[in-house]
Amino acid sequence: MEWFLKVLRQYADFVGRARRAEYWMFMLVSLIVSIVLAIVQAVVGTGLLDLLYSVAVLVPGLAVGVRRLHDTGRSAWWLLIAL
């Protein structure tokens, strides 16, 4: 959980590097939260929860992706391939 919170604290920091653990733990926690929210919204019947969470982690996800690319010696432009 420490890695996830670290990424959220540096939500708009596109400069620097991100360790492998920081990137993958953020992705893992995001995936788990998304799955839980999808189950909750299937039971409740609203599509708003998953949408709000996705919008909330969009910029931090892009930022940690850019920092991870910097750590591997690549330019942030490589992130466009994934989009």
Q: Where are the domains of the chain?
A: 2-82
* Rg (the chain; Cα; Å): 14
* pLDDT for the residue 57: 92
Q: Which residue has the higher pLDDT, 1 or 24?
A: 24
Cβ burial of 4 (10 Å; 0-12, 13-18, 19+) is buried
d(CA 59, CA 67): 12
Q: What is the pTM of this model?
A: 0.82
* pLDDT for the residue 32: 95
Which tens digit of pLDDT belongs to each residue from 6-60?
A: 787 877 888 888 889 999 999 999 999 999 999 999 998 877 888 899 999 999 9
